[in-house]
């Protein structure tokens, strides 16, 4: 029994790393652009589906697919912010109205992307497993790709964190997130920063999607539930906090495996939801969040 | 309590003791004691970032106190919410004019009339209150104009009318004169005097010296969250520390 | 030509008369309509309630709820579970109460916080409900999906009609009351609203719960026409997207905005379902984004702007009116009428074709054709209306730009011959509009 719990926890951590990656992009997009990007899941879906196509159709290694997909999705995200959300922001009479409009617009974009994908690729399941063989660790059998995807997610997460905290552009991004007006006055090209951050968020989502595709069968309809997952992780970890997303991702990963393994797989989302509600009652800013 | 103390505390309509507010590790307001007497016009000045608006936010419960106590007519305000404080009789305006931009002027003021008093107000009474408040500030001609189409000075008047419609005993004015032309400042000063003459106690934050010195009976000075002086305009004008702060600011700004 | 003045003075009377006509129309509908049309009308009414109740809360306070599907689905499942225990009419308010209770819970937790938390929670609520119901079905109830005994079309239609009347009435009364004022204040500036004595949390939670009540009640009535439901069908995000889309398109500011949106898109949606579903959703998504960008107040929001521009006061003429602009105006109006008629024909044609779309062997192509008809019809209507309005502007000399736009639109009609001289004449007659200072009209209200 203890072994079972241990294996669940380990898998939970490994999964959670990827969840954290999925959420990081969203956190970045909200923290900098102040957009609750409910389209995020669709970018995850695009990453996953395109990886499937490259893997099954063109024999490209799914772990390398992000090299091609990354810039593509980055560009898409960049464009989305630079055109749609920027215009909404400029035309909105107040930040509250902007957030509301951005949310609704994102809802519209969600349907655009999802149904465009459905029309192009259909609604079937697309299995694109990779490295699905078993490996032994601590005497328990795990699927190899869990470790690989976790490692990649962790590496990417650390890279993003370092980028944001050490590099010049990272500082510009943080400044813009904190106070766009002042940042602009200090010479930061805020429009570029916003678009870049959004694109980066989209890229992270796409890579996350690619990683997910190696583990489970994907489809064009997977976006919505992934958005909900990412949102829950982001809020749990604190809106705008990158390390928070990662920590919360791992926590959610563990919880999801424990609930699925010991209780009921179907109840994982309701459990996170309940967790989130309780958390918000007690600590509205999330685990590591700032107001 | 001696007779003198009793009389004093009954004159103090709004007072605070040890009022403190921390943001993270930084004290925006630090152990401030203050009091406002009934019927006076009390001013609060201080350099930018001194904590003046924060203090107002603490009084109106827009922010919770970190420690200390604020009392209105002897009653503790700690833990109450802004709408309760409004119904008790403390109303305010905001530094960044928080009007309801898309609604017409009259409707803005109606909100105050309907919800500002502790008892249920009938529609006709509320409309009457609102119209009177508009007349008082001189905006009757524009009652149907959407507020977003008004000039800044008029938007501020709408805010004042809206606050007056809540029938307050104490009115907190946060930088009413900011952004006004000298002519508009004089008009605003007149308005504040009229408000006081109606029996409402006024507590105002200002940067415009002419206004503060001209109409306030007493002034308190905040600096880095602490109260450093308190007295009549003459006393404040002669206060060395105050002069240093302001002159110091001027010198630093000029260099 | 003082139609507008006539309309505004007799406004109330005309409105009541109009509403009575509508009620009569709907009530007598079953007499002359086919079963499928009755179902269509019932569906439109369902969307009307969903859109209107969504707009009641989200349209006023600015707190965007993405949860209508959750409450609607709750209503459906309430019906599924109670259909054998209680009479239909009793289940309706119960479904509403179930939704009300859930909304209270969600609201109490999330409406104390900033708007984004609320949006996120309502977004996830749909998935939450789907999973919970799936769990209950597989583990506790031992069956997948629920069968719902169908009810006849006519009773459903009438029940829905009653609910529509109740919802619209309630919304109207709330909006007119001090609650409505409080809601708008919260949407205008929540902090100021709170400082003026409004208990914002209580107001938000209460109105959110009330709007959800209507959504739940609607779900109960919708259930019998679905016959078989499972968690995915009942809690489909589609039922969140469509009402929101309809309310936004129609305009959240007025009561009738969402109604207009619901009627238009309820009809469009039903007319071409299965074949081109994804294409339509793609199109709706695009329209949604476009509306939020360019028409944040919806169609209804255009009305005051247009009213001013077209029928607004026209300052005294400096130049005399000549035949040029008048002729242009008349040509515009004629061209516009042709376009509108053409689009109506296309709409009818596509509906006609859609009947054939059910035949297997030609369904694909016919479906496409019908879709094409509809798309063209929509474009034509927009062009036609612009042409007509432009024509009116030309006649009144109230706005040269609109007049020109109208002429250009008239060009794209089957009667394009009318458009060419219209454009020429308008350009020639430009100086007749000249006293109008384009956009430079100074503030209507003098500053003190």
- Report chain A residues whose CB lies below 8 A from the CB of B101: 93-94
Q: Is residue C444 domain-resident?
A: no
Q: Which long-range contacts (CB under 8 A, 24 or more apart) does C320-326 make?
A: C320/C432, C321/C397, C321/C432, C322/C429, C322/C432, C324/C425, C324/C426, C324/C428, C324/C429, C324/C432, C325/C394, C325/C395, C325/C397, C325/C403, C325/C425, C325/C426, C325/C429, C325/C432, C325/C433, C326/C394, C326/C395
Distance CA C389, CA C387 (A): 6
- H or E, element range at A53: none
Tell me the three state secondary structure of residue C261.
Answer: helix
pLDDT in tens, C265-324: 888 787 656 556 777 788 888 888 988 888 878 887 777 777 777 666 666 555 566 777
> Does C241 sit within 8 Å of A277, measured CB to CB?
no
Distance CA C10, CA B254 (A): 66
pTM, to two decimals: 0.85
**Residue C421's domain spans which residues?**
306-433
- Selected residue with higher pLDDT from A96 and C179: C179
Going from N- to C-terminal start, the domains of chain A cover 20-221
- Co-location of C310 and C328 in the same domain: yes
Give C3's pLDDT tier (boundaries 50, 70, 90): low
pLDDT in tens, A25-56: 999 998 898 888 999 999 999 999 999 988 88
pLDDT in tens, B160-197: 999 999 999 999 999 998 888 999 999 999 999 999 99
Residues sharing a CB contact under 8 Å with residue A180, sequence separation 6 or more, in sequence order: A190
Chain B interface, best mutation among C195, C198, C254, by max B CB count within 10 A: C195
Q: Is residue C441 domain-resident?
A: no
Domain count along chain C: 2
C305 touches chain B (CB under 8 A): no
H runs (alpha helix) in B116-151: 123-137
Least CB–CB distance from C139: residue in A107, A239, A264:
A264
- Co-location of C30 and C72 in the same domain: yes
Q: Kindly report the backbone phi and psi dihedral angles of residue B200, in degrees, each rounded to the nearest multiple of 5, phi listed first.
A: -95, 135
The tokens for A19 are 């969840």
- Report chain C residues whose CB lies below 8 A from the CB of A270: 128, 131-132, 135
> Does A118 sit within 8 Å of C131, measured CB to CB?
no
Q: Kindly report the backbone phi and psi dihedral angles of residue C321, in degrees, each rounded to the nearest multiple of 5, phi listed first.
A: -75, 130
ipTM for this prediction = 0.89
> Does C127 sit within 8 Å of A269, measured CB to CB?
yes
pLDDT in tens, A176-226: 888 888 888 888 888 899 999 999 999 999 999 999 988 888 888 888 889
H runs (alpha helix) in A34-143: 40-52, 58, 65-80, 86-91, 95-121
- Co-location of C211 and C355 in the same domain: no
Q: Is residue C446 domain-resident?
A: no
Q: Is residue C29 domain-resident?
A: yes
Q: Is residue C284 domain-resident?
A: yes
- Co-location of C140 and C180 in the same domain: yes
pLDDT in tens, B123-151: 888 999 999 999 999 898 888 888 988 99
- Co-location of C62 and C154 in the same domain: yes
Q: Is residue C286 domain-resident?
A: yes
The tokens for B229 are 């002086």
The tokens for C45 are 């009414």
> Does C285 sit within 8 Å of A109, measured CB to CB?
yes
- Report chain B residues whose CB lies below 8 A from the CB of C192: 94, 98-100
Q: Is residue C443 domain-resident?
A: no
User: What is the CA angle C404-C409-C414, rounded to 5?
Assistant: 140
Average pLDDT over residues C329-348: 80
Going from N- to C-terminal start, the domains of chain B cover 101-167
Q: Is residue C166 domain-resident?
A: yes
Distance CA C250, CA C241 (A): 14
């Amino acid at each position: 029994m203890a072994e079972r719990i241990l294996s669940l926890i380990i898998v939970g951590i490994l999964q959670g790393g990827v969840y954290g990656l999925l959420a990081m992009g969203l956190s970045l997009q909200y923290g900098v652009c102040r957009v609750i990007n409910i389209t995020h899941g669709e970018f995850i879906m695009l990453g996953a589906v395109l990886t499937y196509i490259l893997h099954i159709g063109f024999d490209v290694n799914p772990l390398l697919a992000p090299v091609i997909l990354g810039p593509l999705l980055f560009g898409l995200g960049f464009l989305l912010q630079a055109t749609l959300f920027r215009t909404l922001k400029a035309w909105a009479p107040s930040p509250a109205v902007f957030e509301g409009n951005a949310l609704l617009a994102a809802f519209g974009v969600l349907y655009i992307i999802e149904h465009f994908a459905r029309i192009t690729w259909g609604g079937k399941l697309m299995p694109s497993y990779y490295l699905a063989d078993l490996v032994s660790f601590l005497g328990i059998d795990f699927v190899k790709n869990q470790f690989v995807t976790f490692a990649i997610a962790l590496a990417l997460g650390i890279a993003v964190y370092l980028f944001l905290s050490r590099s010049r552009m990272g500082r510009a991004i943080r400044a813009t997130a904190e106070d766009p007006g002042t940042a602009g006055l200090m010479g930061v090209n805020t429009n570029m920063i916003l678009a870049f951050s959004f694109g980066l968020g989209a890229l992270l989502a796409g890579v996350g999607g690619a990683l997910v595709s190696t583990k489970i069968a994907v489809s064009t309809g997977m976006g919505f539930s992934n958005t909900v997952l990412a949102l829950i992780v982001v809020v749990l970890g604190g809106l705008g906090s990158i390390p928070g997303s990662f920590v919360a991702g791992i926590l959610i990963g563990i919880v999801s495996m424990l609930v699925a393994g010991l209780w009921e797989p179907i109840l994982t989302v309701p459990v996170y939801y309940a967790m989130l509600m309780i958390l918000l009652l007690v600590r509205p800013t999330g685990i590591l969040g700032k107001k | 309590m001696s007779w003198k103390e009793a009389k004093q505390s009954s004159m103090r309509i709004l007072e605070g003791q040890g009022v403190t507010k921390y943001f993270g590790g930084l004290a925006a307001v630090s152990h401030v004691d203050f009091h406002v007497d009934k019927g006076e016009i009390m001013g609060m000045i201080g350099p930018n970032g001194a904590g003046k608006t924060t203090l107002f936010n603490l009084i109106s419960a827009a922010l919770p106190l970190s420690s200390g106590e604020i009392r209105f007519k002897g009653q503790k305000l700690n833990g109450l919410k802004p709408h309760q404080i409004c119904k008790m009789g403390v109303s305010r305006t905001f530094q960044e004019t928080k009007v309801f931009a898309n609604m017409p002027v009259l409707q803005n003021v109606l909100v105050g009339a309907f919800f500002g008093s502790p008892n249920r107000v009938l529609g006709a009474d509320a409309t009457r209150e609102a119209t009177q408040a508009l007349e008082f500030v001189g905006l009757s001609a524009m009652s149907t104009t959407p507020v977003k189409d008004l000039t800044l000075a008029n938007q501020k008047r709408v805010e004042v009318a809206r606050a007056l419609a809540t029938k307050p005993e104490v009115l907190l004015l946060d930088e009413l004169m900011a952004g006004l032309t000298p002519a508009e400042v004089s008009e605003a000063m007149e308005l504040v005097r009229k408000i006081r003459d109606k029996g409402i106690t006024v507590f105002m934050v200002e940067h415009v010296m002419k206004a503060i010195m001209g109409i306030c009976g007493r002034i308190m000075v905040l600096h880095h969250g602490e109260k450093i002086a308190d007295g009549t305009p003459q006393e404040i004008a002669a206060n060395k520390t105050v002069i240093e702060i302001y002159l110091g600011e001027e010198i630093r700004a000029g260099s | 030509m003082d139609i507008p003045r006539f309309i505004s003075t007799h406004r109330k009377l005309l409105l009541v008369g109009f509403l009575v006509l509508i009620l009569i129309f709907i009530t007598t509908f079953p007499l002359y309509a086919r079963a499928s049309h009755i179902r269509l009308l019932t569906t439109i009414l369902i969307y009307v309630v969903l859109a209107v109740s969504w707009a009641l809360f989200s349209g006023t306070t600015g707190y965007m709820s993405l949860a209508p599907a959750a409450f609607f689905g709750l209503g459906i499942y309430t019906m599924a579970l109670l259909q054998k225990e209680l009479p239909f009419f009793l289940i309706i308010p119960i479904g509403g109460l179930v939704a009300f209770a859930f909304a209270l819970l969600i609201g109490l937790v999330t409406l104390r916080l900033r708007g984004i938390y609320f949006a996120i929670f309502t977004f996830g609520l749909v998935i939450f409900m789907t999973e919970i119901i799936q769990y209950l079905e597989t583990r506790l109830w031992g069956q997948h999906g629920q069968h719902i005994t169908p009810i006849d079309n006519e009773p459903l239609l009438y029940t829905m009609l009653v609910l529509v009347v109740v919802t619209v009435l309630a919304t109207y009364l709330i909006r007119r009351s001090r609650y409505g004022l409080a809601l708008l204040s919260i949407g205008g500036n929540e902090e100021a609203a709170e400082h003026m004595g409004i208990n914002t949390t209580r107001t938000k939670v209460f109105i959110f719960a009330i709007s959800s009540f209507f959504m739940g009640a609607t779900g109960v009535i919708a259930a019998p026409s679905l016959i078989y439901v499972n968690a995915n069908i009942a809690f489909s995000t589609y039922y969140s997207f469509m009402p929101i889309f309809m309310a936004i398109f129609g305009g959240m500011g007025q009561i009738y905005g969402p109604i207009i949106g619901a009627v238009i898109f309820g009809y469009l949606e039903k007319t071409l379902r299965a074949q081109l579903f994804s294409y339509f959703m793609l199109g709706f998504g695009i329209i949604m984004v476009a509306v939020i960008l360019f028409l944040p107040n919806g169609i209804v929001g255009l009305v005051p702007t247009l009213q001013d521009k077209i029928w607004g006061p026209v300052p005294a003429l400096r130049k005399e009116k000549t035949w040029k602009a008048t002729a242009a105006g008349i040509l515009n109006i004629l061209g516009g009428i042709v376009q509108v008629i053409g689009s109506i024909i296309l709409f009818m044609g596509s509906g006609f074709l859609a009947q054939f779309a059910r035949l297997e062997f030609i369904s694909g192509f016919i479906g496409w054709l019908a879709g094409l008809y509809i798309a063209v019809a929509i474009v034509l209507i927009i062009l036609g209306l612009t042409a007509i309005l432009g024509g009116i502007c030309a006649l009144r000399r109230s706005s040269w730009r609109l007049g020109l736009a109208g002429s250009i639109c008239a060009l794209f009609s089957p009667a394009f011959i009318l458009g060419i001289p219209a454009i020429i004449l308008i350009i020639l007659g430009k100086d007749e509009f000249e006293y109008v200072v384009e956009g430079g009209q100074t503030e209507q209200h003098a500053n003190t």
